[in-house]
């Protein structure tokens, strides 16, 4: 996987065709991290969904409608 190269230049991180100010750097890096994680997790999404369904306790219609267990 490739990450955008970020270098410090005059107090700004440069990536691709735009700069990221220090004020927004944490949000920018969090977004890059989330995108990378989604790419790796999407490959197994169906298998993870089925496993979660199998691991869950079944509920009755009454529990679903009223919220009472």
* Residue 62 pLDDT > 80: yes
Q: What pLDDT, on the 0 to 100 scale, is given for residue 51?
A: 93
E strand or H helix that includes residue 53: helix 45-55
Q: What pLDDT, on the 0 to 100 scale, is given for residue 11?
A: 54
* pTM of the model as a whole: 0.38
Instruction: Read off the pLDDT of residues 8-54 as tens digits, 9 standing for 90 and up.
Output: 455 555 555 567 888 989 999 999 888 888 777 777 888 888 999 99
Neighbours of 13 (CB within 10 A): 19
Alpha carbon 41 to chain centroid distance?
A: 9
d(CA 49, CA 9): 44
Q: What pLDDT, on the 0 to 100 scale, is given for residue 43?
A: 76
State residue 25 phi and psi, 5-degree precision: -60, -45
């Amino acid at each position: 996987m490739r990450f955008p190269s970020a270098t410090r230049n005059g107090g700004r991180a440069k990536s691709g065709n735009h700069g990221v100010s220090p004020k927004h750097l944490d949000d920018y890096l969090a977004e890059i991290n989330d995108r990378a994680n989604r790419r790796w997790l999407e490959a197994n999404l169906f298998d993870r969904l089925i496993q979660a369904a199998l691991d869950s306790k079944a509920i009755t219609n009454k529990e679903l409608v009223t919220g009472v267990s």
